[in-house]
Amino acid sequence: MYFPSNLSQEIIKINNQVNQEVIGYGLERQKVFITENIIVIIAKNKRIPALATLDSRGFSTLEVNYILLTAFKARLKELLEKQFNFKIITILKDYDVQTESAGTIIILQEPIKTI
């Protein structure tokens, strides 16, 4: 599969769009790494204020976090497959509340080649 050299920038735009749709605001910064059939996105974004309040009061937000991550992955997969015709095997995502950092790993069926 061949893609333009600005593929990373296009993925950044889509990832930010999904964050706005699911979380309600964009990412502070992000970096994309592409290797063969794997795309890794490292991002920095603020915690949702309501969840930060619950966290600070000792309430569990694990279920809400799971729901948000699941919704995020589904929407990201939908947009990437539509935009680039990727065949995505899986998307793995985690968010660290303490550092407000997120990591996303996208595993494709075929390697990516840029032109």
The matching CATH number, chosen from 3.40.50, 3.30.420, 3.40.1350, 3.30.980, for 2-114 is: 3.30.980
- Nearest C-alpha neighbor of 7 from the set 45, 35, 43: 35
For 50, the 3-state DSSP assignment is helix
| Domain ranges within the chain, ordered by starting residue | 2-114
In this predicted structure, what is the pLDDT of residue 97?
86
User: Number of helices and strands (H, E) in the chain?
Assistant: 3, 6
Within 13 Å of residue 7, how many CA atoms lie on the same side as its CB?
A: 20
Q: What value does the mean pLDDT take over residues 30-35?
A: 95
Going by pLDDT thresholds of 50, 70 and 90, the confidence category of residue 56 is confident
Instruction: Work out the percent of the chain whose per-residue pLDDT is above 90.
Output: 70
Q: Say whether pLDDT at 88 is over 70.
A: yes
Q: What value does the mean pLDDT take over residues 108-112?
A: 93
- Nearest C-alpha neighbor of 97 from the set 35, 38, 39, 53: 53
Q: What value does the mean pLDDT take over residues 30-45?
A: 95
Q: Convert the pLDDT of each residue in 2-19 to its tens digit.
A: 566 789 999 999 999 999
